[in-house]
Amino acid sequence: EAGVAQSPRYKIIEKRQSVAFWCNPISGHATLYWYQQILGQGPKLLIQFQNNGVVDDSQLPKDRFSAERLKGVDSTLKIQPAKLEDSAVYLCASSISGGAKNIQYFGAGTRLSVL
């Protein structure tokens, strides 16, 4: 069974530029998550989708971050414009459904460096 796919693995941009990350979850998983992991910290949820609807985006900086999951499968996370503090690893995860007990399966992440 294929795991969660993310691309690119690494991205270096200058501040005020825009960047996009892509995620393809495990086939059949209804719930998709985007996390931000700053160096030395645990992952922080940015947005959670159930199929193509948003369940939780309370911690997404909506003035610069946006995400979509148009067909309920793969998803794109965008940052525009990027700030220095956005340097982090962006992790995508998926689970069969969105309940509290569900195990999340993670991709390898995209490491973003903003210069």
Partner 1 sequence: AQKVTQAQTEISVVEKEDVTLDCVYETRDTTYYLFWYKQPPSGELVFLIRRNSFDEQNEISGRYSWNFQKSTSSFNFTITASQVVDSAVYFCALSEATGGFKTIFGAGTRLFVKA
Applying CB under 8 A, the residues found at the interface with partner 1 are: 3-4, 40-45, 48, 55-56, 89, 91, 93, 98-109, 111
Are 88 and 68 contacting, i.e. CB atoms less than 8 angstroms apart?
Answer: no
Q: Taking the complex as a whole, how short is the minimal distance between the CB of residue 43 and partner 1, in angstroms? A: 5
Q: Taking the complex as a whole, how short is the minimal distance between the CB of residue 81 and partner 1, in angstroms? A: 26
Through-space distance between the first and last CA atoms of the chain, rounded to whole angstroms: 37
* Closer to partner 1 by Cβ: residue 22 or 105: 105
Q: What span, in angstroms and rounded, lies between the C-alpha atoms of 106 and 115? A: 27
